Structure 1
Amino acid sequence: MTRHVFLNDTTLRDREQAPGVAFTTTEKLEIAESLAAAGVTEIEIGTPVMGADEIETIRAVVARRLPVRLMAWCRMTSLDLDAAIESGVHAVNLSLPASDIQLAAKLGLDKAGALQVIEHMVRRAAAAGFFVAVGCEDASRANRDHLARVIETAARAGASRVRLADTVGVLDPFSTFELVAQLVAQSPIDLEFHAHNDLGLAAANTLAAIRAGTRHASVTVLGLGERAGNAALEEVAAAMAVLDGADTGIELTALPDLAAQVAWAARRQTAAIKPVACADVFTHESGNHVAGLLKDSRTYQGLDPALVGRCRRIVIGKHSGATAIAHVLSESGRDLDPDLAAAMVARVRREAAETKSTVTATQLVELYDGMCSEASLAELCGSRSAVRERTTTVFRPGRMQ
């Protein structure tokens, strides 16, 4: 039976907390529309308490009537909730620290005081007609018994879901699984996992949380977010489809264009090797790999590029062999002469090393045509030398024939 997993995209909220990122209203509208078109069913669209401009932008997104749940992120205060009411959204994530460290440093509260705040604010939000999720900031460093009481209190007050946030990114997949499995077994309502990528484990931790039983996960496009970012929408969606056969509702072929759109709006360059959506992840140069791929694509592809709207690309460089060179030449209407193969490989490797780059198909054809011309000239010169030698042998000056 196919398992359904729901991805809550928070690109328009957590992504904007990254230094220097400020989406315009138009950009937020366009990104929200693209997320909805890609099959995302819940979008965290902003923080209303930021002020009139943010509220106006949120109201503009709400007015589009997209087929998604639009959620506002709020601190667990009346000020934030009133701003959410003004913004016109129908869902709120009311967030409160869960760890002793953050409760004391940020709010001067103890655990009992935090539970009282949760009880009061969740009841008020539910009475206002909101779908209510409670966010446990720094859940990864919180006392487990306190987390269980937070979930119980939130559920009793009218919350439909609790978010467990690894706010400072200190979990690994094993500790994530243990934490989530324990709380899922005790929880009367849905749980959501929100990962941060400080140790490069956000996507892995998110998969661990899903396997431990949570049906909801926070993601951002390209994993962009504050500090080291969050779990990447495209990575989690593809991994769930390929590794677990789960249904996230995401149209995977839409992910590359969505990633490009967000990167442009954020004015951020992304690494060419970033999984799923970026330039080089389905690009192959190694001679050994290319030889295998041309026989059976499964030899060096665990993820079918077509699944995520991409194509395999073979490039020529320092590590290319004769098979790859012959393949690229054949696509340009050239057949690699077996007698020239070794010399061609050597020339390509020299060219790539000198330029510290790949050799384009056009450059490869030029190199090959030049080599063929040299070979033809050498053959012609060799033939003429042979003729001269025979002529010299037959017609030696001063000797009668």
Structure 2
Amino acid sequence: MVRINDTTLRDGEQAPFVAFNTKEKIEIAQLLFEAGTDEIEVGIPAMGKKEREDIKEIVSLKLPIPLMTWNRATMSDLESSLDCGVNSVDLSIPTSDVLINVKYKGDKAKLLKNLEQVILSAKKENLIVCIGGEDSSRANIDFLKEVFIMGAELGVDRFRYCDTVGILTPMQTFKNILELKKLNLLEIEMHTHNDFGMATANAIAGIEAGATSVNTTVIGLGERAGNASFEQVLMSLTHQFNEHRKIDATMLTKLVNKVSIAANKPIDDNLPIVGAHIFSHESGIHTNAMMKNTSSYEAFCPEEVGLFRNYPIGKHSGTSTLDYHLSSFGIHASKRKLTSLLPKIREIVTMRKQVLEPFELRELYLCS
């Protein structure tokens, strides 16, 4: 199975105006495990004492999955991670010429020497080591291959391919990952950003090309436009890749709501997988079909993600919707009468910009 490494507690918290407290971090970590993540990136130890204390609190939960920290490829960052007691580290390096010039004044030899030293030290501590290729999508492919070769020789476990500024399309992502996968040197982890609205699509494209791990954040929380969504990737792996994952709808709902509240980020009603209205069917043609077969216009059942199906009485509703709601009151409606009500319902809904409640429909029907 593809490994989900969720980074809500690291990259998710780097979203502007977001700050989790210790209690929230602990609760989110526990819920992430119970909702089905395979690994958790828990934070950045080099941020300081308080961050390390929070990470230690999460480590003390003794969750039966790897806990990873994010680090620059420096000995001081690694030592901070070792102090926290985690078993996995991401060692981040800039890989594009733009960022290598900014952070290393263009000195790739120095960058690789630093990386080698930190990798060797991390492997001596028996840590799982991931090289984080910051800005991989703008990097020279030959330099990435050089990093892959060195990493494989040093016993690195995987390479995190980062579309740091979210510039890729799914097709280009697929081609790039396939090219690196052909080296057959390191496992590849996808880390995608949503600047053009393609984070989850690019993450999935990378998996299709052979990536075996993927970074996610709950509700796509993250820097700028955010990251690939945990709940979207989880459901994609389950339904589109046919992975045998047990999704606990209750825990997923608790996780999504917890992150939404802690981040002060409301969940859009039409957010894929978890939006409150994504199982609402108003169109008369759709509703009529759904009442005959619920798979007509749904990719998966609402119960899987803790939601429910709804047939709002709106401008586009047909007689099937009206009959459905009236029957719940024990009213056996006349098709002719229902048809005659539709223009009035459309007028009301359009005027007040709000659907009818079932009790309003009942009154309208009985008074007509």
Shorter-chain TM-score bucket reads over 0.9
Q: Output the CA distance in 1 between the equivalents of 2:361 and 2:324.
A: 11
How does 1:237-252 map onto structure 2 within 5 Å? 237-247=234-244, 251=248
CA contact (8 A) 1:263 1:270 kept: yes
Write the deviation string for residues 344-372 of structure 1: whole angstroms up to 9, x where unpaired: 2122111111110111222222322332x
How does 1:73-88 map onto structure 2 within 5 Å? 73-88=70-85
Map of 1:343 onto structure 2: 340
CA contact (8 A) 2:218 2:231 kept: yes
Q: Output the CA distance in 2 between the equivalents of 1:186 and 1:249.
A: 33
CA contact (8 A) 2:137 2:168 kept: yes
* Secondary structure in structure 2 of the residue aligned to 1:147: helix
* Secondary structure in structure 1 of the residue aligned to 2:205: helix
Q: Which moved more, 1:235-244 or 1:211-220?
A: 235-244
Map of 2:201 onto structure 1: 204
- Structure 2 unpaired stretches of 5+: none
Write the deviation string for residues 250-270 of structure 1: whole angstroms up to 9, x where unpaired: 546643332112101111112
* Secondary structure in structure 2 of the residue aligned to 1:68: coil
Share of identical aligned residues, percent? 39
TM norm structure 2? 0.96
Q: Choose which of 123, 132, 138 in structure 1 pairs with 2:120.
A: 123
- Say if 1:69 and 1:250 are closer, same or farther in 2 by CA, change over 3 A: farther
Map of 1:284 onto structure 2: 281
Structure 1 residue 29: Cα displacement = 0.4
CA contact (8 A) 2:276 2:307 kept: no
Q: Choose which of 329, 332, 341 in structure 1 pairs with 2:329.
A: 332
Q: Output the CA distance in 1 between the equivalents of 2:146 and 2:131.
A: 12
CA contact (8 A) 1:40 1:249 kept: no
Structure in which a larger fraction of residues adopt helix? 1
How does 1:61-100 map onto structure 2 within 5 Å? 61-100=58-97
Please tell me the residue identity of whatever aligns with 2:190: F
How does 1:111-190 map onto structure 2 within 5 Å? 111-190=108-187
- Say if 1:334 and 1:249 are closer, same or farther in 2 by CA, change over 3 A: closer
Map of 2:259 onto structure 1: 262
TM norm structure 1? 0.88
Q: Output the CA distance in 2 between the equivalents of 1:334 and 1:47.
A: 61
Map of 1:222 onto structure 2: 219
* Secondary structure in structure 2 of the residue aligned to 1:72: strand
Q: Output the CA distance in 2 between the equivalents of 1:279 and 1:316.
A: 16
Q: Which has the higher contact order (CA 8 A, sep 6+)?
A: 2
Map of 1:294 onto structure 2: 291
CA contact (8 A) 1:48 1:58 kept: yes
- Say if 1:138 and 1:300 are closer, same or farther in 2 by CA, change over 3 A: same
Structure 1 residue 27: Cα displacement = 0.5
Q: Output the CA distance in 1 between the equivalents of 2:273 and 2:66.
A: 26
Write the deviation string for residues 64-94 of structure 1: whole angstroms up to 9, x where unpaired: 1011111111111122112111222121101
Q: Choose which of 44, 47, 67 in structure 2 pairs with 1:47.
A: 44
CA contact (8 A) 1:221 1:232 kept: yes
Q: Output the CA distance in 2 between the equivalents of 1:91 and 1:216.
A: 14
* Secondary structure in structure 2 of the residue aligned to 1:92: strand
